[in-house]
Structures are given as structure tokens and as C-alpha cells.
Amino acid sequence: MRYDVFIAGFGGQGVLMAGNLLGYAAIIEGKNVSFFPSYGVEKRGGAAMCTVVIADTDVGSPVVGNPSVALILNQTSFDKFAARVKTGGLCIVNSSLVDPTGLSRTDIEVIAIPMNEIAIELGDHRMVNMVAVGAYAARTGAVAIATFEEALRQTLPERNHRFIPANIRAIAAGAQRV
């Protein structure tokens, strides 16, 4: 079993947090993981992306040229990276900020989820990344939804553990949308 996902958006959307969380969840489940973050010097508002590879066996490289799955949180990232998804792959997009109709590919599945609206309905616009992670986990089975609570305890600083229940609700909401 091997899963790879490319996550892209702008700084401040929690792209790196989402990748880190997926990695911790996989480690808790006894899987091997590589996490390869990349972000612009601007931080908030600049480009942010990461690749996560989850496998039962050794992970040879964190670099994935053509990912099986892409989680795309903004239009610029969609325009730049959707074409890289491998044939037969999946592209989960934040339809609050992404219009996927310009994609001319018919060899990948595109799932559009209004992640910003879901996060706002849950009470915090910053939970877009958790909605995305929930959708990814539910659709692919790379990690179990139930594992995220412990992964959040390991990912978040202790002072932010009070936000874990809200994050779990956002993950569940994303999972329900797929």
C-alpha cells in the first residue's frame, strides 16, 4: 500500500499543518511517512505546498513528480498544479476559491468541495485545511478518521489543544462531503 498527496494553497491556509497532520496520523497507524514542505518567503499570502507519502514499506523519496492525489486550496495553485496529477488520479479542490471548469483533462477525477463555506459554518474560517484533510482521508483511506484526534495532540502545541474538538468536527465535515 502506498499513498501520495500533493497539497497546495497560499500561506495562512494551513497547507503545511495539513501535511504534517497526515504524517503524524500515518505514523500513529504504524506506517512509513515522508513529508516534504515548501513555501515562499512571504509566508502568509505566498505559495505554500507540501508532499506527503504514506506507505507500508520504505519510502524512497519525498519528491513526487505526478501525485496520485492533489488537494488544491486556491485558484493559483489549481492553475499551476492540477495538470501534474497522474492519469487516473484525484484532485480535491476548494470550490470556494477554485473554479475547476477550465481544466481540460478528463483522465482524472475532480471533487469540488466548498471548504471555506464549511469552515465558516463550523465557526472558524481557518479550518479549511481540516476540511480538506477529512475529505482526503475519507476518499482514499490513507489514514483512519479516528486517528486524527491523537495526531492533533501530537501536532498542535499544548496551548492549542482546546481547539482539537473543533478541528475534529471540521475533519468529519470534510469526510462527509465526499
Which CATH number goes with the domain that contains 127? 3.40.920.10
Give the global pTM: 0.93
- Tell me what the mean pLDDT of segment 75-96 comes to: 96
Query: What ranges make up the beta strands (E) of the chain?
Result: 2-10, 32-39, 47-55, 69-72, 90-94, 109-113
Q: Is the pLDDT of residue 44 over 70?
A: no
The predicted structure's pLDDT at residue 63: 79
Q: Is the pLDDT of residue 43 over 70?
A: no
What span, in angstroms and rounded, lies between the C-alpha atoms of 25 and 154? 9
- Between 166 and 43, the higher pLDDT residue: 166
pLDDT band at 130 (very low <50, low <70, confident <90, very high): very high
Which grid coordinates belong to 124? 472558524
**Containing structural domain, residue 166:** 2-177
Q: Which of 163, 171, 176, 162 is nearest to 18 (CA)?
A: 171
pLDDT band at 176 (very low <50, low <70, confident <90, very high): very high
In the chain, how many domains are there? 1
pLDDT in tens, 99-111: 998 888 899 999 9
b/e string for 146-166 if b means 16 or more Cβ within 10 A? ebbeebbeebbeeeeeebbeb
What amino acid is encoded at 4 in this protein? D
